[in-house]
């Protein structure tokens, strides 16, 4: 809604808020001009001191001792006393603005400061020489030989550095190598180096590997390797003399969820208006009503609105067990169920002619007919001849003197649909009585409630971190497609956030995000003095705004410090935990001028899986581009799709998974001489699922002779690797792949730069699942509802994607839709032909005599 210009100086930070975008840009530009004019004046008045600066610069460049970042030059210059040197080392000095006369009077060595091309040429030559000088060092580092990209990442050290890595490309090894290299070069003391990880296990692993590389005991390691949480706690304890009082739920994996559930329950019981809104959100608004024009096509829209796609037709279920034809009709049906209103859907009515009427809703108590017309405010419809059809229905009801009222899509758009419905029912004295909360929660799919709890948890973090207000949330709600749902959710999540904050205040405790925010304040105010000159951050794609603020505060407080961040934006899958991918993808905008490197060689997946997965995730143009190369050659047809028949509308993935594992165990046992050695007697298999309700093992994976099986969710699999993976239920659906409920537009209420690519995070999550395996991936899918992602993989990898039965028999893939199988069918005359089993979505047919060879 507005912009802020922030000015940080020694010991103070000033913020000028409530500016328009143009005013903020103008102010920032004016400040830069003013500061540089002042700096140039200081340089001009002390030209006699510049020869000392010249000596310092020559010491750096002629010795070819180190890579030169802008801050390295600034540090060398700052060692010279006087105002001119201070001006030359100022972080806001802009060489492009130096007056020509002043520039011409500077010694030749000053070109390193005033001409970026000179420094760039020096650094390129330096990197080439270091490759040769440190060849043996990098040939055996962290028990491996580094790739050229890893070596370059260790050598380069700009003010800010982002290493964009691929899955399985040696990110952690590169961090170990970076520390070893800068210590070997004596660029930093060990106690000046800080490494930050997102969890304790990752920090412990990094600490162990660095200590082993440096050949010191872990408890003697002087570099600090820690988590963001431990760092924040340590900063507060050092300044205040005691550790922060953390809420008793923060260390429990499900602690926050339970607190949120308790707050909601308390509000439901104590606040009738909250209870009304909460029930309406859960029952009437389980999914956003988004117009068809937003989607890529009718098929994509149909996938979104439907609950199932059984037998080839989309169905939209309601809580009253009625199948309706649109999300707006579902909204009406669910509202009627919530308020205990008896109705019949599309009841047949005789209008006195040869044709019968089928009104959308019929209320037997008053024999009232209710039509919901897909008409806009002008009475028009995107459907051909629909307006005439609606008018004919109106006339028929009048002709037969049938009590009738209508609602329209226009009312859904202007948020008057449900109020109109209620007033029409009340006018007819039809009882409207809301069901109890217990009845509602008993009838709802638990995943709907879980989805909203997760949304609230995510939004709560962003609201508190960004100091959002209810007015801001309601203003943003006006920009979403389903405005009524968005406003309702905004009011609810605001009340829950207030309750959460009160709970912290009443207990005089803080949560992790508050702790990090408090640590940031202590750093920015100068009460905490940072000893760190080099800050390395692991898994930077998971960074959140509070954590990014802590890194920035540490860097900005200590002069000439640097940041080296490592991560993979393709694996950014923790938006629900508060992470913001744009901090990664817009790294330079967030941290300043930077070098950006790549790690494109993977040591995990074979080339087929690596290349296919890379092309798949990069269909989102917002993802940073990389070309992935594997040290493992491609394994032909190592991506396999196994369609499972549905029984009672739900395929039994647990049974299919067990049969597949038995088959895989037997097959590997038959070729054990090819893989079994003294290092391993079993190959590892990960069975992965999108939601935990799919766990086929109920927490107890089976035991086999030749394979070691583990099962967990896509999210928990991040960072793990196996020989084979089995992905369960790679099918369309609300809780399928991609999950249609996760990419909820409600997140745009709190995320300042929302992603515009459809199911962006779901695509990254599937990429994570795909890239856990080195030898092969098996995808089990509902035969009637194969995921759109399977089709994309077929488009990318062609015949290298094999369709087969659980037993391994090859299936005949449809050449038209790519995800169906050709099956034998009969014409009315009894003749046989082959057709796609995805009919009517795919109408491909061919003579039975056609034989396809792959």
pLDDT category of residue 95 using cuts at 50, 70 and 90: confident
What phi and psi, each to the nearest 5 degrees, are found at residue 46? -130, 45
Beta-bridge partners for 368: 363
By DSSP bridging, strand 801-803 and strand 639-644 are: parallel
The share of the chain scoring above pLDDT 70, in percent, equals: 96
pLDDT surpassing 50 at residue 311: no
Q: What is the pLDDT of residue 279?
A: 93
pLDDT surpassing 80 at residue 1: no
What does the pLDDT look like over 336-357, one tens digit per residue? 999 999 999 988 876 555 466 8
pTM of the complete model: 0.84
d(CA 25, CA 31): 10
Residue partners of 81: CB distance under 8 A and separation at least 6: 49
pLDDT surpassing 80 at residue 190: yes
214, 217, 817 from 90: Cα distances, Å: 35, 40, 61
Query: 284 with 444: CB under 8 angstroms?
Result: no
Helix (H) or strand (E) holding 407, with range, is: strand 404-408
Q: What is the pLDDT of residue 762?
A: 95
What does the pLDDT look like over 440-495, one tens digit per residue? 989 988 878 888 998 999 899 889 888 899 999 999 999 999 999 999 999 999 99
Q: What is the pLDDT of residue 742?
A: 76
pLDDT surpassing 50 at residue 507: yes
What does the pLDDT look like over 202-228, one tens digit per residue? 999 999 999 999 999 999 999 999 999
Report the pLDDT averaged over residues 611-618: 97
pLDDT category of residue 358 using cuts at 50, 70 and 90: confident
pLDDT category of residue 648 using cuts at 50, 70 and 90: low
* SS3 (DSSP) at 434: coil
229, 806, 813, 854 from 810: Cα distances, Å: 51, 10, 9, 10
Q: What is the pLDDT of residue 309?
A: 46
Report the pLDDT averaged over residues 787-808: 96
d(CA 797, CA 638): 11
Q: What is the pLDDT of residue 849?
A: 66
Average pLDDT over the chain, rounded to an integer: 90
By DSSP bridging, strand 832-836 and strand 845-847 are: antiparallel
Q: What is the pLDDT of residue 129?
A: 94
Q: What is the pLDDT of residue 109?
A: 85
What tokens does 550 get? 């802590």
Which is nearest to 619 in space by CA: 762, 740, 752?
Answer: 762
Query: 841 with 732: CB under 8 angstroms?
Result: no
pLDDT surpassing 90 at residue 655: yes
Report the pLDDT averaged over residues 39-67: 85
pLDDT category of residue 409 using cuts at 50, 70 and 90: very high
Burial class from Cβ neighbours inside 10 Å (0-12, 13-18, 19+) for residue 632 reads middle
CB atoms within 10 A of CB 581: 24
Query: What distance, in Å, lies between the first and last C-alpha atoms of the chain?
Result: 57
pLDDT surpassing 50 at residue 378: yes
Which is nearest to 613 in space by CA: 579, 568, 661, 663?
Answer: 568
Which is nearest to 567 in space by CA: 203, 157, 171?
Answer: 171
What tokens does 773 get? 């395996």
Report the pLDDT averaged over residues 389-414: 92
Q: What is the pLDDT of residue 312?
A: 42
d(CA 320, CA 337): 6
What tokens does 827 get? 């014409």
Which is nearest to 160 in space by CA: 625, 571, 589?
Answer: 589
Q: What is the pLDDT of residue 744?
A: 86
pLDDT surpassing 60 at residue 314: no
pLDDT category of residue 659 using cuts at 50, 70 and 90: very high
Which is nearest to 560 in space by CA: 175, 159, 98, 20?
Answer: 159
Query: 19 with 5: CB under 8 angstroms?
Result: yes
Tokens 């969820």 sit on residue: 257
Query: 748 with 483: CB under 8 angstroms?
Result: no
What does the pLDDT look like over 319-334, one tens digit per residue? 888 888 888 999 999 9
264, 267, 277, 504 from 497: Cα distances, Å: 10, 12, 16, 11
d(CA 178, CA 150): 9
């Amino acid at each position: 809604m507005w912009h802020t210009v922030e000015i940080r100086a020694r010991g103070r930070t000033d913020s000028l808020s409530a500016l328009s975008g143009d005013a903020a840009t103008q102010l920032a530009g004016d400040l830069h001009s003013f500061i540089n004019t002042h700096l140039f004046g200081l340089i001009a008045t002390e030209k006699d001191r510049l020869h000392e600066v010249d000596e310092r610069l020559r010491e750096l460049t002629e010795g070819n001792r180190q890579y030169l970042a802008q801050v390295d030059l600034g540090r060398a210059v700052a060692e010279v006393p006087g105002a001119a040197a201070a001006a030359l080392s100022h972080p806001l000095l802009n060489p492009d603005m130096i007056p020509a006369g002043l520039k011409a009077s500077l010694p030749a060595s000053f070109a390193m400061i005033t001409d970026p091309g000179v420094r760039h040429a020096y650094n390129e030559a330096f990197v080439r020489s270091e490759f040769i000088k440190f060849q043996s060092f990098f040939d055996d580092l962290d028990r491996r030989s580094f790739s050229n990209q890893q070596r370059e990442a260790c050598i380069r050290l700009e003010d800010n550095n982002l290493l964009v890595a691929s899955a399985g490309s040696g990110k952690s090894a590169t961090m170990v190598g970076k520390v070893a290299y800068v210590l070997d070069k004596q660029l930093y003391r060990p106690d000046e180096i800080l490494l930050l990880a997102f969890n304790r296990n990752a920090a412990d692993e990094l600490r162990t590997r660095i200590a082993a590389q440096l050949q010191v005991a872990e408890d003697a390691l002087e570099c600090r390797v820690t988590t963001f949480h431990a760092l924040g706690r340590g900063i507060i304890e050092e300044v205040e003399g005691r550790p922060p009082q953390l809420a008793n739920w923060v260390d429990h994996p499900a602690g926050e969820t339970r607190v949120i559930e308790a707050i909601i329950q308390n509000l439901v019981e104590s606040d009738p208006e909250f209870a009304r809104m909460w029930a309406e959100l859960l029952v009437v608004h389980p999914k956003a009503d988004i117009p068809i024009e937003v989607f890529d096509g009718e098929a994509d829209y149909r996938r979104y609105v439907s609950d199932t796609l059984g037998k080839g037709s989309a169905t939209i279920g309601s809580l009253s067990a009625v199948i309706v034809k649109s999300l707006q009709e579902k909204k009406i049906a669910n509202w009627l169920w919530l308020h205990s209103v008896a109705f019949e859907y599309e009841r047949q009515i005789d209008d006195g002619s040869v044709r019968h009427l089928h009104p959308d809703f019929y209320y037997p108590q008053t024999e009232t007919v209710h039509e919901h017309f897909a008409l806009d405010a002008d009475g028009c419809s995107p459907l051909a001849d629909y307006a005439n059809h609606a008018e004919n229905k109106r006339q028929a009801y009048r002709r037969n003197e049938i009590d009738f009222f209508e609602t329209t899509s226009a009312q859904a758009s202007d948020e008057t649909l449900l109020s109109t419905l209620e007033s029409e029912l009340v006018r007819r004295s039809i009882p409207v009585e809301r069901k109890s909360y217990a009845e509602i929660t008993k009838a709802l799919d638990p995943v709907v409630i879980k989805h909203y709890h997760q949304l609230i948890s995510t939004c709560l973090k962003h609201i508190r971190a960004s100091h959002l207000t209810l007015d801001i949330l309601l203003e943003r709600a006006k920009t979403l497609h389903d405005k009524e749902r968005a406003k309702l959710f905004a009011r609810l999540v605001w009340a829950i956030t207030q309750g959460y904050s009160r709970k912290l205040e009443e207990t005089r405790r803080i949560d992790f995000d508050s702790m990090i925010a408090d640590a940031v304040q202590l750093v920015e105010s100068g009460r905490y003095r940072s000893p760190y000159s080099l800050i390395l951050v692991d898994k930077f794609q998971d960074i959140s705004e509070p954590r990014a603020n802590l890194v920035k505060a540490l860097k900005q407080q200590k002069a000439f410090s640097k940041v080296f961040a490592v991560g993979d934006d393709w694996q950014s899958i923790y938006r629900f935990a508060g992470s913001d991918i744009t901090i990664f993808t817009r790294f330079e905008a967030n941290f300043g001028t930077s070098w950006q490197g790549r790690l494109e060689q993977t040591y995990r997946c074979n080339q087929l899986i690596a290349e296919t997965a890379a092309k798949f995730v990069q269909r989102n143009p917002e993802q940073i581009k990389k070309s992935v190369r594997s040290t493992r050659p491609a394994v032909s047809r190592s991506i396999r799709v196994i369609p499972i028949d549905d029984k009672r509308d739900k395929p039994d993935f647990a049974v299919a998974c067990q049969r597949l594992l038995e088959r895989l165990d037997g097959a590997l046992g038959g070729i054990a001489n090819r893989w079994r050695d003294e290092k391993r007697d079993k190959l590892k298999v990960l069975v992965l699922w999108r939601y935990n309700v799919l766990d086929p093992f109920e927490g107890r994976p089976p035991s086999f002779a030749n394979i070691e099986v583990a099962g967990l969710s896509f999210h928990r699999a991040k960072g793990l690797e196996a020989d084979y993976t089995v992905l369960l239920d790679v099918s369309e659906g609300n809780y399928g792949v991609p999950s249609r409920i996760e990419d909820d537009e409600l997140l745009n209420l709190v995320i300042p730069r929302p992603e515009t690519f459809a199911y962006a995070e779901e695509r990254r999550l599937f990429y994570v699942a795909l890239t856990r395996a080195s030898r092969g991936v098996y995808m089990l899918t509902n035969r009637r509802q194969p995921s759109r992602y399977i089709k994309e993989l077929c488009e990318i990898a062609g015949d290298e994607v094999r369709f087969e039965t659980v037993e391994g028999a090859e299936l005949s893939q449809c050449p038209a839709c790519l995800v169906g199988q050709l099956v034998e069918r009969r014409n009315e005359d009894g003749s046989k032909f082959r057709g796609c089993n995805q009919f009517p979505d795919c109408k491909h047919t061919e003579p039975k005599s056609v034989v396809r060879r792959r």
